[in-house]
Structure 1
């Protein structure tokens, strides 16, 4: 699998931060998205075996009650 880019790592980190602020565990967010219990954990894992796509980010924003824009940096990386 290809190494994740700086922007992908930034988005994963930001989703994790917002997830924790909203009081969601990895498992709860995964299940809220209709995914297996390990979906978010696989993305947030140090080995980074998986990543989000645009549809994931949109659905996560709905569950967390924020905008998909909240996951992106203000300036290009």
Structure 2
């Protein structure tokens, strides 16, 4: 299945980075345990990590997540340089999940749940439509292709 989402490039990065750090943590930290550690509902992390749902972390939650993961610096969470774009359209090809537990490949990388097919910044017109109050002309967060 292919989908296209509109999201802040930084939000997308942070969601994937938290997922990676969570899965690589020793011992393995599942979504429910992380949610319990930061004091949110059991489905909170799952909603954020699901690219079909328009949920994201806020700064307060990132602070709590960092502590729950045992990070000693925000440097491990944020990108080392500024990202080029604000809002982007990301086209993803979702992979079929065969296992519930996440996998780490032979190189020590977390196996992705999707392939990124393209990342494009929103045009000026698309940005206006995204910000529009009028729901009729507003861009949708998710398109299933």
Aligned to 1:56: 61
1:26 and 2:9 correspond = no
Match of 2:43 in 1: 38
Ranges of 4+ aligned residues in structure 1 off by more than 4 Å: none
State the shift of 1:55 in Å: 0.6
| Aligned-partner Cα distance in 2 for 1:69–1:50 | 23
Task: Provide the rounded CA distance (Å) in 2 between the counterparts of 1:5 and 1:14.
Answer: 14
Question: Does the residue aligned with 1:4 lie in a helix, a strand or coil?
Answer: strand
Contact 1:57–1:68 (Cα < 8 Å) also in 2:
no
TM normalised by structure 1 equals 0.90
User: Secondary structure of the equivalent of 1:35?
Assistant: coil
**Structure 1 residue 8, shift from structure 2 partner:** 0.6
Structure 2 unaligned residues grouped into runs of 5+: 1-5, 84-145
Cα displacement (A) at 1:50: 0.8
- Specify every segment of 5 or more residues in structure 1 that has no aligned partner in the other structure, as ranges: none
Structure 2 CA distance for aligned equivalents of residues 59 and 33 of structure 1: 6
Once residues 62 and 72 of structure 1 are traced to their aligned partners in structure 2, the CA distance between those partners, rounded to angstroms, is 14
Which has the larger share of strand? 2
The residue aligned with 2:7 is: 4
